[in-house]
Structure 1
Amino acid sequence: MGEYGVWLIAATLIIVVLMVIAGRLLWQLREQRRHEHTERSDFQNELVVQGVAAREGISILTRSYLAGQLGASECALRVAVLAETAAVDAAYSADIAVFHDMAASLAHIPTHADWKALSAEQRAIYSAEMGVLEARYLDSLQRAAEHLSNIT
């Protein structure tokens, strides 16, 4: 019995050590899952906040456009950027598509410092092109802007 007792104690000791290791690993896994859940929740909350801010920004831009305080080209570019940077609801997607289309048509036109660096003749050419695009998209931009400015 003495010989079996040593083996029994050794086996018991090994099982206890393995149980402690398994318990520690389970605790670490639980902590990791809790941490991931917290990060995921924070990320989802941030997406919601960005979505609300984007919708408010889009509403302000479209109201400014409808009031004549903002040109169609600038409004289209800004709405397209806001829609891309934050997830917006499906209710917005059809109306925002018009702004995306116009923004894509304007993508080759220089902006900001590049615009200022253009000669007066080049600015006139690009301004004329923007006028043609604004005329082409006028009706659809008006309808989309009216709808977007009323969505809450």
Structure 2
Amino acid sequence: MSLLSGVLICVAVALVIALGFYALSLWRKVWSRQSQQRSAAIEQQQRLGEDLKILASSLLDGQLPLIEGVIRIKVLLDNFDIRLSQNVRCQVFHQLYEATAHVPTHADWKALDKTSRRQHEKNFNELELQHKAQAREAARWLLEEAL
């Protein structure tokens, strides 16, 4: 074997070792990011769970209007655990959400004329009368058993 061949083999081995270390450093970054993502997902789940508890408690205590509380609970439940959201006991949240999905919000609500607003408010009152007990029961179940 010539001197040139020996040098080329040493350079090749050094290059393979360097590339191996570089690949290892890249994998460490990947593992670190995966760990951070898992931690962030766990933290988000915990925050959503706490927010759901607060909303359910506020709904039961009368600190939150029924329709608004139900809509917020439904949206958070969908993000927290879709299986829990689809539970039969949570069906009232979906029913009220769908019944009010067409109602404008925020600036669009403020832009409505008084007649339209009153009509929506009348509809809210009717929905609340029909579903209040079931919504409160579902909120209580979430607090006591599901969360």
TM-score (normalised: structure 1): 0.80
Q: What is the aligned-residue RMSD (CA, Å)?
A: 2.3
Q: In the alignment, what sits opposite 2:63?
A: 69
Which of residues 98, 110, 119 in structure 1 aligns to 2:113?
119
Paired letter, 2:56: T
Q: In the alignment, what sits opposite 2:96?
A: 102
Percentage of identical aligned residues: 26
Paired letter, 2:138: A
Q: In the alignment, what sits opposite 1:149?
A: 143
Paired letter, 1:32: L
Q: In the alignment, what sits opposite 1:22?
A: 16
Contact 1:98 1:144 (8 Å CA) reproduced: yes
Q: Any residues of structure 2 matched to 1:31-110 within 5 Å, and which?
A: 31-84=25-78, 86-88=79-81, 91=84, 94=87, 95-110=89-104
Give, in angstroms, the shift of residue 130 of structure 1.
2.2
Paired letter, 1:126: H
Contact 2:60 2:139 (8 Å CA) reproduced: yes
Contact 1:54 1:88 (8 Å CA) reproduced: no
Structure 1: which 5+ residue stretches go unaligned? Answer: none
Structure 2: which 5+ residue stretches go unaligned? Answer: none
Take 1:53 and 1:132, find their aligned partners in 2: how far apart are those partners?
A: 33
Q: How many residues of Structure 1 are paired with residues of Structure 2 in the alignment? A: 145
* Greater C-alpha Rg: 1
Q: In the alignment, what sits opposite 2:123?
A: 129
Take 1:91 and 1:27, find their aligned partners in 2: how far apart are those partners?
A: 46
Deviations 1:12-38 (A, max 9, x none): 222222212211111111111111111
Q: Which runs of 4+ in 1 moved over 6 A?
A: none
Take 2:82 and 2:42, find their aligned partners in 1: how far apart are those partners?
A: 10
